[in-house]
Structure 1
Amino acid sequence: MAESEERALLENLLHSSSLEKKLRKTIASGQKSVVISYDEIVEFDERLAKFLMENPKTFFYQADSILEGITSIRGTRLRVRGLDRSVDIKDLRAKDIGRFIQIEGILAKASDIRPEIRIATFRCKRCGEMYKREQLGDYLIEPLFCENPNCKAKGTGAFELVLESTEFCDWQSLGFQDPPSKLRGGRMPKQLSGIVRDDFVDRAVPGDYVIATGYLQPLQELGKKKKVLDIIFMVNHLEVPKKGVEEAELSPEDEQLIKEMIKDPEISDRIVQSIAPSISGHEVIKEAIALQLFGSDPVELPDGTRIRGDIHILLSGDPGTAKSQLLNWVSNVAPRGVYTSGMKSTSAGLTATAVRDEIGKGWMLEAGALVIADGGLAAIDEFEKMDKEDSASILESMEQQTISIAKAGIVARLNTRAAVLAATNPKGGRFDPNINYASQIPLDPVILSRFDLIFILRDDPKEVDDSRLTKHVISLHSKPKSVKAPIPPELLRKMIIYARKNIHPTFTDKEAQQVIADFYTRQRKLAAQSGHPLPMTVRQLESMIRLAKAHARLRFSQKVTVEDARKAISLVDYCLKQVGVDVSTGLVDIDTITTGIPKSQRDKMMTVLQIIEQLEKEYGGAAPIEQVKRMALSQKIDEDFVEWVIETEKNRGILYSPREGMIARVK
């Protein structure tokens, strides 16, 4: 098809009545982009659609030129959306260069918005003649020579750019990567750099799932003649779909099959039995993971406060207790599941960071694992190895489910609405049953308290368990096909998507509310009456409500019942009796988790501090440490504990040592 014929077809399309209506609406709204679907072009003329697919750069140059002529508005652009299929970023090859394509994925990076020269104005330094040059390439192009017959200046440095008369457009650099659902089997995500201009900048933020159309263009650096080139995706249209990629996986046939399956009264048990069937045991943990996968809805309060619905679970255990295998399995099944390590695998780590933009040479925001997992689940192995930067922002990420960034001039708040399934090893490599478990988990108590459920996994030699595990492992190697789940992983994934989309349990049943309320108040009342430590706080109350809602969703019920409430209570109680017990008293003490110091230990600390205060008065300002130890020993507090208290409180700025062998309170 000749160029004149192509342009004539474009003229006819853009002057059609349907396009004129869109154009008037666009101009009235103050926008400059006219959006049409690819199907509209096909319906108008298949030859024009073929021209677009094979020569998108020429197609849009001509279309934009025609639109500017129609509207008399500089920068009016044609945007085409809705191709029949998308190309996975990992599958892009040299054959795709120069063709019109559509990609779907996660926006992993976004730069700040910068001005780009569209029409440059130059002044001849010798005679002052002015010239305008349209800038179509990646580098600024000056006039070759002055056209003034009395001047004829030419060469580098003959012209200067007149910024006051130069026309600019908005420009933004982006980074795309395949969504987690495309990266199963441990594949590394492929990234694609892109550029978006005009009124389509700032349409999405890192972590958003996006659909974008455009074309690939090789990038050759000025003055270099490399054979191997980088490619840039020149974005024509970009949108954040209201329906996520996960929902798009559900076909009408899938929905009909799931509707039949959930008629089974034992469906929740079948789902739990389908969690990581290749891993022996851990039945309670698998039940908790099933609840995490199905999740509960967040609560939006009238004052703008948001109470998260995602469930956070921590697995802390000895080596060889299948923590990493569980995380891997869950991340592969969870919709928008991301598997990562606490050790930085990217510059963004778990949260987000500012990185250098290789295209525009400025700064851009790069999303970390929790941002990319927004709306899904983040499985984080070796959680204790996150760096200080991630540790400081993980609290906001887990509770408020946002990340606040203020780096390199970029100020942003990104969503991290994801459930966290984390795994750690104990401080000593293995758990010591004679020491409080919470104190052996290498996490700050403040972070520890953000988990709804904490499970301790011990490699405890027991003949019955070891025999069962041995048979299971041997069967995995001898008869791998015999390990079958009641529900295959792909179908289970679709059931989770269906439940999240259609099942929204309400917590309005008075009896279910009373069951949780009675358990919570009874536990606290008994502790208060007996002088025992508090077994739970409001955090555990909220966890029980979240778990009850998730259990109702697991049953595909729109209503939380007493059964759901009791299941939530049993899970929270199970975990507290594992990780929240003070081994010196045998009592559940929530402070072992929230502060790292149980009540029994805190009482002894107070005794030591009171002894110091008493001796300060006797000795006129400072207490002899040896005397403190002797008086503490008379109250059955050993020397090691006294030394630990002194060191701890010195670090906190409560005590100081005025001279060798003496200790005093900071006043």
Structure 2
Amino acid sequence: MASGKALLKKYIKDNHSEEIEKLKSQNKQCKVSIDYESLNQFLIEQSGKDFWKHQIYEFIDQMEEIFNTGNVALKFMNVPERDNLHDLDATSNNKWISTRAMIKNITDVRVDLKQACYICRECGTINLVNINDPNQAEVIPKFCKNNQCAGTSKSMFFDKDSSIYRNYRLLKLEEPLELRGGGSTREFKAIVLDYLASPFHNLKVGDVVNVTGIFKIEPRKVKGRSDGHEFIIHIHNITPVDDVFEDSRISEEDVKEIINLSKQDNIFELLWHSLAPEVYGYDMIKKGLILQLFEGNRPLNDSFKSSMMDRWTIHVLLIGDPGIGKSQLIQSMKMRAPKNITISGTNTSQAGLTVSTVKDELTGTWTMEAGATVLADTGVLCIDEYDKLSPSAQKSLNEPMEQSSVSSAKAGLVQVMSARTSILAGANPKYSKFDPYKLYRDQLDIPESNLSRFDLIFVLTDEVDKEKDSKLADALLNKDFILDESEILDIDLFKKYITWMKANCFPVLSKDAKILLREFYVNTRKTALETSDGKPITPRDLKALERLTIARAKCEYRQEATITDAIEAIDIYKEALSGLGLTLATAGALHGIHSQDELNVISDMENMIKSNIAIEGMPLSAESLRHLEMECGMLCHEKGINREGIFDIAYSNVKKSL
């Protein structure tokens, strides 16, 4: 019976020899991918033993020498995951592993010796020394390999031009969020060589990757000095997970249960009833949160960035008085989102949200470390106490919320990281209680540019109403609003349902749904323009409604989003607006759009300010400013509009024009 080495050699010769020769001629670093499934089937047919029994991975480096691949690396791909990163310890030393990990940080491309060339000064003989990895100490030949020469290490001359070099990069790997038990994780140092460390192989902080390689224990060095031992993974192959929602824990039986569940007539009702069942009421808000979990349609090829890419994440903001269930809703989302990070705005910085630059103690170099938005890529970032974030931290979320990426240029490092993250934020009003009779923007410590990026903004208020209070008190005391366990979904099944739907269901808008959304958009804008205080909605609102409509169809595993889905999406959108004291005709206020009356007052005030400057010059006296502000208030009163911020806008416009 042929050995594993001989079988691997035959397989490569029959299936990849032409590809190797073709790539070698290009004289650049590249790789040949050997498919695990195809190879494994070949091994079983030829010998009755599979990939693991033959320990095929032990021979792959020898194949590169046998086939003289040069700059062409031979890599196994699609190897099944057999190991959990969290379980690796000293007993796993020298074990070949296949696991899933997330890149926490990564160094830039570095260079090191692969084969050192020494020339003997005595006889001119070339002595070659192979160096397996960058951690290996350089070894100068003790004696010349020419038996007729008496040359020793002192007579060896290092020929840097004839030596062969290779790329390498150091990584820190940790468990992906969705695989962490109890929120804890472990970090592991890893190293990639040659093609995997080349600029052609794109690896980014925050990427979830499949990793194969050898798990080793090696001496640790800190600032050149020995400091015990450490775990290090010598990576054979590392590939970003193509399907970010793939979950190997979903079995065929789970899939059958999920599909059967999706056929239930009341599945959407079952889903939102299962979200925070201990919180009484807020039905529309729960519906909106469920749609956030399902999202819109991501690109089928899951491309990170392209000119045609559309945002598919849904962002939700909950504004509410303290103690009425806002944090409980967020915690329930945390428990049910397949992948999530939960933070508090009271102790989170801008760097902690996006990306920070840190000096790695192990490498001594500056590296980028992903923040919460990047780490929660393809999941949900729950931010409680959102109003406690600094204005700069809130504005730093503008890019990931709209572009699904985080760009950073710090300490000479420039990088764009994937942040396809849905944001769920909870905020308190400025004065702890939301006043429906005041402008919403005057009650929030959130920049307008950031506020406009939320698809849904819900207001939870604690209104005093005898009849409602009586019903709520009875419900809370009797607990008769809490559903039986048979009436809600198990959390594990809930997560699997969402994960599978996001990976396998991509509804398209039906013709009727497109017509309804188009007419809603056109008619709403028309109505707003027909009134002097109207503030029309924007294309951003239309795209939000499209995402909500598609998410609604996903809930029931339908490949077409119908007019019914669009109607329900519009109803949820209207409910969110009403809580802010906005109507469809004034919804554009969320995007900083001013009504015609407001624009007229701003224009009048600009003319008044310019006239005063022509007389007094700049800066205007305090008395003149007070007088102008009074004039502004009178104009606003005549037009029936809120004066807040109008004078500041006009004064700022004039100063910019000077």
Scaled by the length of structure 2, what TM-score is found?
0.82
Kept after mapping to 2: 8 A contact 1:277/1:483: no
> Is 1:579 matched up with 2:576?
no
Offset from partner CA, 1:458-516 (integer Å, 9 cap, x none):
3444455555555666678x999956652222222222234334433322323x33433
Q: SS of the counterpart of 1:307? A: coil
Q: How does 1:152-301 map to 2 (within 5 A)?
A: 152=152, 154=154, 161-183=158-180, 185=182, 187-201=183-197, 202=201, 204-222=203-221, 224-227=225-228, 229-244=229-244, 246-298=246-298
Q: Which of 104, 107, 129 is equivalent to 2:103?
A: 107
The one-letter code sitting in structure 1 at the alignment partner of 2:312 is G
Offset from partner CA, 1:256-296 (integer Å, 9 cap, x none):
22333333322222222122212222211100011111222
2-structure distance, mates of 1:50, 1:533:
73
**Kindly tell me: are residues 78 and 453 of structure 1, through their superposed partners in 2, closer, same or farther at Cα, counting changes over 3 Å?**
same
Aligned to 2:6: 12
Offset from partner CA, 1:526-555 (integer Å, 9 cap, x none):
332231221422222222222222222224
Kept after mapping to 2: 8 A contact 1:52/1:100: no
Aligned to 1:661: none
Kept after mapping to 1: 8 A contact 2:292/2:313: yes
Kept after mapping to 1: 8 A contact 2:107/2:367: yes
Q: How does 1:366-405 map to 2 (within 5 A)?
A: 366-386=369-389, 391=394, 393-405=396-408
> Is 1:318 matched up with 2:321?
yes
Deviation at 1:446, TM superposition (A): 1.0
Q: SS of the counterpart of 1:231? A: strand
Q: SS of the counterpart of 1:549? A: helix
Kept after mapping to 2: 8 A contact 1:98/1:217: yes
Deviation at 1:20, TM superposition (A): 4.6
**Kindly tell me: are residues 525 and 20 of structure 1, through their superposed partners in 2, closer, same or farther at Cα, counting changes over 3 Å?**
closer
Deviation at 1:370, TM superposition (A): 2.8
Aligned to 2:27: none
The one-letter code sitting in structure 1 at the alignment partner of 2:542 is L
Kept after mapping to 1: 8 A contact 2:320/2:434: yes
> Is 1:352 matched up with 2:352?
no
* Stretch of structure 1 that moved more, 42-51 or 131-140: 42-51
Kept after mapping to 1: 8 A contact 2:374/2:418: yes
Q: SS of the counterpart of 2:458? A: strand
2-structure distance, mates of 1:115, 1:389:
38
* Stretch of structure 1 that moved more, 71-80 or 208-217: 71-80
2-structure distance, mates of 1:34, 1:101:
18
2-structure distance, mates of 1:172, 1:455:
46
Q: Which of 435, 442, 445 is equivalent to 2:445?
A: 442
1-structure distance, mates of 2:631, 2:80:
82
The one-letter code sitting in structure 2 at the alignment partner of 1:71 is F
Aligned to 2:609: 612
Offset from partner CA, 1:1-59 (integer Å, 9 cap, x none):
xxxx9xx9454234335655334433434445563638469745869946849xx7xx3
Kept after mapping to 1: 8 A contact 2:350/2:392: no
1-structure distance, mates of 2:315, 2:378:
14
The one-letter code sitting in structure 1 at the alignment partner of 2:297 is D
* Stretch of structure 1 that moved more, 195-204 or 8-17: 8-17
Aligned to 1:327: 330
Q: Which of 488, 491, 498 is equivalent to 1:489?
A: 491
Aligned to 2:82: 86
Deviation at 1:403, TM superposition (A): 2.7
Deviation at 1:606, TM superposition (A): 4.6
Deviation at 1:195, TM superposition (A): 1.0
The one-letter code sitting in structure 1 at the alignment partner of 2:340 is G
Deviation at 1:167, TM superposition (A): 0.8
Kept after mapping to 2: 8 A contact 1:277/1:484: no
Kept after mapping to 2: 8 A contact 1:310/1:418: yes
* Stretch of structure 1 that moved more, 435-444 or 461-470: 461-470
- Structure 2 alignment gaps of length 5 or more: 25-29, 637-641
The one-letter code sitting in structure 2 at the alignment partner of 1:422 is A
Deviation at 1:557, TM superposition (A): 3.0
Kept after mapping to 1: 8 A contact 2:317/2:456: yes
> Is 1:119 matched up with 2:122?
no
Offset from partner CA, 1:91-124 (integer Å, 9 cap, x none):
2222122211221132333332222211123467
The one-letter code sitting in structure 2 at the alignment partner of 1:266 is N
Kept after mapping to 1: 8 A contact 2:399/2:405: yes
2-structure distance, mates of 1:445, 1:365:
29
Deviation at 1:314, TM superposition (A): 1.1
**Kindly tell me: are residues 311 and 45 of structure 1, through their superposed partners in 2, closer, same or farther at Cα, counting changes over 3 Å?**
same
**Kindly tell me: are residues 323 and 183 of structure 1, through their superposed partners in 2, closer, same or farther at Cα, counting changes over 3 Å?**
farther
**Kindly tell me: are residues 453 and 40 of structure 1, through their superposed partners in 2, closer, same or farther at Cα, counting changes over 3 Å?**
same
Kept after mapping to 1: 8 A contact 2:549/2:569: yes
The one-letter code sitting in structure 2 at the alignment partner of 1:91 is D
* Stretch of structure 1 that moved more, 327-336 or 26-35: 26-35
**Kindly tell me: are residues 82 and 502 of structure 1, through their superposed partners in 2, closer, same or farther at Cα, counting changes over 3 Å?**
closer
The one-letter code sitting in structure 1 at the alignment partner of 2:453 is R
**Kindly tell me: are residues 135 and 50 of structure 1, through their superposed partners in 2, closer, same or farther at Cα, counting changes over 3 Å?**
same
Q: Which of 434, 443, 450 is equivalent to 1:431?
A: 434
**Kindly tell me: are residues 86 and 342 of structure 1, through their superposed partners in 2, closer, same or farther at Cα, counting changes over 3 Å?**
farther
1-structure distance, mates of 2:610, 2:423:
45
Overall identity of the aligned pairs, in %: 25
Q: Which of 122, 131, 136 is equivalent to 1:135?
A: 131
Offset from partner CA, 1:103-157 (integer Å, 9 cap, x none):
1132333332222211123467999876432223504323264649666565xxx
The one-letter code sitting in structure 2 at the alignment partner of 1:446 is S
**Kindly tell me: are residues 623 and 50 of structure 1, through their superposed partners in 2, closer, same or farther at Cα, counting changes over 3 Å?**
closer
* Stretch of structure 1 that moved more, 564-573 or 621-630: 621-630
Kept after mapping to 2: 8 A contact 1:591/1:599: no
Kept after mapping to 1: 8 A contact 2:81/2:100: no
The one-letter code sitting in structure 2 at the alignment partner of 1:328 is Q
> Is 1:70 matched up with 2:66?
yes
**Kindly tell me: are residues 136 and 666 of structure 1, through their superposed partners in 2, closer, same or farther at Cα, counting changes over 3 Å?**
closer
How many residues align? The count is 631
Scaled by the length of structure 1, what TM-score is found?
0.81
Kept after mapping to 2: 8 A contact 1:548/1:564: yes
1-structure distance, mates of 2:373, 2:606:
42
RMSD of equivalent CA atoms: 4.2
Kept after mapping to 2: 8 A contact 1:210/1:239: yes
2-structure distance, mates of 1:129, 1:347:
59
The one-letter code sitting in structure 1 at the alignment partner of 2:211 is A
Offset from partner CA, 1:341-366 (integer Å, 9 cap, x none):
45676996333344445554444443
**Kindly tell me: are residues 42 and 191 of structure 1, through their superposed partners in 2, closer, same or farther at Cα, counting changes over 3 Å?**
farther
Aligned to 2:501: 499
Aligned to 1:659: none
1-structure distance, mates of 2:347, 2:6:
54
Kept after mapping to 2: 8 A contact 1:111/1:174: yes
Kept after mapping to 1: 8 A contact 2:246/2:503: no
Kept after mapping to 2: 8 A contact 1:611/1:632: no
**Kindly tell me: are residues 203 and 541 of structure 1, through their superposed partners in 2, closer, same or farther at Cα, counting changes over 3 Å?**
closer
2-structure distance, mates of 1:416, 1:492:
24
The one-letter code sitting in structure 1 at the alignment partner of 2:101 is G
